[in-house]
Amino acid sequence: MDRQEIIHRVKKILEDAGFNVSEECNLKDVGFDLIARREKDVLILKILTNIDAFTDQVARDLKSLACLLKASLILVGEKDGSAKLEDDVVYFRNGIPTITPNTLKNYLVHNLPIQVYAAPGGFY
């Protein structure tokens, strides 16, 4: 799936979960792709096919923005290098929680808790 398809899929998941979702941010120097709000919950989402493309600088910028907006920051992707990310597992990239589109759907739409996280050495 290419990045645009993932963005559209994530937007649909958020809408199905009752979020108001921004239009995709296509500005070159802006690090996020979507912002979503449901009541008091605000999410800033960066969406990539390969999470290896997520840089330290973009992470720092998005953490600052999330702090200012009192928002949660989520990186959504499908693979790490050449390896496919597992569903229903939280990974961390530059300190940012990172999940697959399926994990996002399971959590927000189906209310399934995420019970596994990836860290050096495996899944816990």
pLDDT digits (tens, 9 = 90+) for 10-35: 999 999 999 999 998 876 667 899 99
pTM of the model: 0.93
Per-residue pLDDT, 27 = 65
Per-residue pLDDT, 92 = 95
What distances in angstroms separate CA 50 from CA 33, 34, 39, 40, 58, one per listed residue? Answer: 15, 17, 31, 30, 15
Question: How many structural domains comprise the chain?
Answer: 1
Q: Give the domain extent around 37.
A: 3-123
CATH number, domain at 110?
3.40.1350.10
8 Å CB contact between 42 and 69:
yes
